[in-house]
Amino acid sequence: MSIQADQQKCLDFLEGALEGLGVVAAREKTQKISNLIVGSMSGQWRLFHTPDHIFQVGLDSDDIEVISALFHDSIYVQVDKDIHSGLLSYIASFMSVSDKQIFITNNSKLLNDASLKLCLMTFGFDLGQRLISTEGQNEFLSALFAAKALEDSLPLPILSQIISCIEATIPFRESDHEGISCSEQQYEKLKKINQVFEFSWIDDDIQKIVERGVRLANRDVIGFASESPGCFLDDTWKLIPETNHDLWPLSICTISTYRAALQKMEIFLSALKAESVIRKYKNEPSDEKYAYLIYSINRNLEIGCAYLGVKLLSCAVLEALSSRNFKEQPSEILRAELAQNSMLAASFESPLSTKIDEELLSLLKQKRSLELGCDEISSPIGIFILKEIGIENAQSLLYEARQFFSGELSSEDFLSHCPRDLIAGIMSSTQLPSNPK
Average pLDDT over the chain reads: 90
Residue that wins the pLDDT comparison between 338 and 430: 430
For 237, other C-beta atoms within 10 Å of its C-beta total 20
E strands present in 140-209? none
For 347, other C-beta atoms within 10 Å of its C-beta total 18
HSE, CB side, 13 Å, CA atoms: give it for residue 272: 23
CA distance 295 to 289: 10
Name the packing angle between helices 156-168 and 182-197 (round to 10°).
Answer: 160
Q: How many DSSP H helices and E strands does the chain contain? A: 21, 2
Say what the pLDDT of residue 339 is.
44
Cβ contact 363:231 at 8 Å:
no
pLDDT in tens, 65-102: 999 999 999 999 999 999 999 999 999 999 999 988 99
Cβ contact 157:209 at 8 Å:
no
- What pTM does this model have? 0.91
Helix (H) or strand (E) holding 297: helix 287-323
Cβ contact 37:54 at 8 Å:
yes
pLDDT at position 343 over 70: no
For 429, other C-beta atoms within 10 Å of its C-beta total 23
Cβ contact 176:225 at 8 Å:
no
CA distance 59 to 345: 42
Say what the pLDDT of residue 323 is.
80
Cβ contact 313:397 at 8 Å:
yes
Helix (H) or strand (E) holding 381: helix 375-406
Say what the pLDDT of residue 355 is.
43
pLDDT in tens, 365-421: 888 888 776 777 668 888 888 888 888 899 999 999 999 999 999 999 999 999 998
Cβ contact 142:71 at 8 Å:
yes
Say what the pLDDT of residue 246 is.
87
Helix ranges (H only) for 46-155 are: 51-58, 63-71, 77-80, 85-91, 114-123, 137-150
Cβ contact 401:312 at 8 Å:
yes
For 1, other C-beta atoms within 10 Å of its C-beta total 11
Cβ contact 391:355 at 8 Å:
yes
pLDDT in tens, 216-252: 999 999 999 999 999 999 999 999 999 999 888 776 7
